[in-house]
């Protein structure tokens, strides 16, 4: 076995460091001293215990608040997602509405064209045959056909209709309808 020799300054330095290491690990920290302290009176002990209870309550309330905050953030995220979904659905509905409006406009345009073509056909027919065909027809359609005919031809057809049908078509023709 070899013997280690040290110079005196190194020895004292090692001894000094060992002493501080020993002190650091054997002395209680401040919070341990606080818990183990002796109270001078019963009132101090009671106040200290009340303070500890309040600290515990505050700690519990803080945990509850943090939990509620997390729940609120989760709910907020959920609400934001639902709002985004609603916005998307609204955009889809607006798109569908525009498409339906375009189709209705196209349908109306096509109906108007067909009524004009039908009016031209009725205008070329003999007034008696045209009047006979209009007798069983929907009054709105009959008035549109008559309205697109030349006044002279429409008058000849109306002259051939019976009195009740003429009155009905005249009333329908003069009534403004809003679609």
Query: What was the pLDDT predicted at 108?
Result: 92
pLDDT tens track for 55-68:
999 999 999 999 99
C-alpha count within 13 angstroms, C-beta hemisphere, residue 10: 4
Query: What was the pLDDT predicted at 124?
Result: 92
Query: What was the pLDDT predicted at 166?
Result: 87
More confidently predicted of 31 and 144 = 144
143's tokens = 């008035």
Q: What is the CA radius of gyration of the chain?
A: 51
* CA pair distance 114, 25, nearest whole angstrom: 104
Q: How confident is the model at residue 30 (pLDDT cuts 50, 70, 90)?
A: very low
pTM over 0.75, yes/no: no
* CA pair distance 43, 40, nearest whole angstrom: 8
pLDDT tens track for 76-130:
999 999 999 999 999 999 999 999 999 999 999 999 999 999 999 999 999 999 9
For residue 41, pLDDT over 70 is answered with yes
* CA pair distance 155, 149, nearest whole angstrom: 9
* CA pair distance 127, 133, nearest whole angstrom: 10
**Cα 28 to chain centroid, rounded:** 60
pLDDT tens track for 132-159:
888 888 888 898 999 899 999 999 998 8
pLDDT tens track for 2-21:
555 656 666 666 556 566 56
Residue-range domain boundaries for the chain: 125-179
Q: How confident is the model at residue 179 (pLDDT cuts 50, 70, 90)?
A: low
More confidently predicted of 9 and 43 = 43
For residue 38, pLDDT over 60 is answered with yes
For residue 72, pLDDT over 90 is answered with yes
Structural contact between residues 128 and 156, judged by C-beta atoms closer than 8 angstroms:
no
More confidently predicted of 37 and 84 = 84
* CA pair distance 80, 31, nearest whole angstrom: 46
């Amino acid at each position: 076995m070899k013997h280690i020799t040290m110079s005196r300054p190194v020895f004292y330095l090692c001894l000094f460091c060992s002493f501080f290491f020993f002190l650091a690990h054997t002395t209680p920290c401040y919070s341990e001293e606080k818990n183990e302290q002796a109270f001078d009176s019963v009132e101090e002990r009671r106040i200290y215990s009340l303070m500890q209870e309040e600290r515990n309550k505050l700690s519990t309330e803080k945990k509850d608040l943090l939990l509620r905050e997390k729940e609120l953030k989760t709910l907020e995220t959920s609400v934001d997602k639902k709002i985004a979904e609603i916005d998307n659905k609204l955009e889809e509905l607006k798109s569908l509405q525009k498409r339906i409006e375009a189709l209705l406009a196209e349908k109306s345009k096509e109906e108007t064209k067909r009524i004009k073509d039908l009016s031209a056909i009725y205008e070329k027919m003999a007034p008696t045959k045209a009047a006979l065909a209009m007798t069983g027809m929907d009054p709105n359609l009959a008035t549109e056909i008559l309205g697109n005919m030349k006044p002279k031809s429409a008058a000849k057809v109306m002259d051939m209709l019976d009195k009740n049908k003429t009155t009905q078509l005249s009333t329908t023709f003069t009534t403004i309808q809003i679609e």
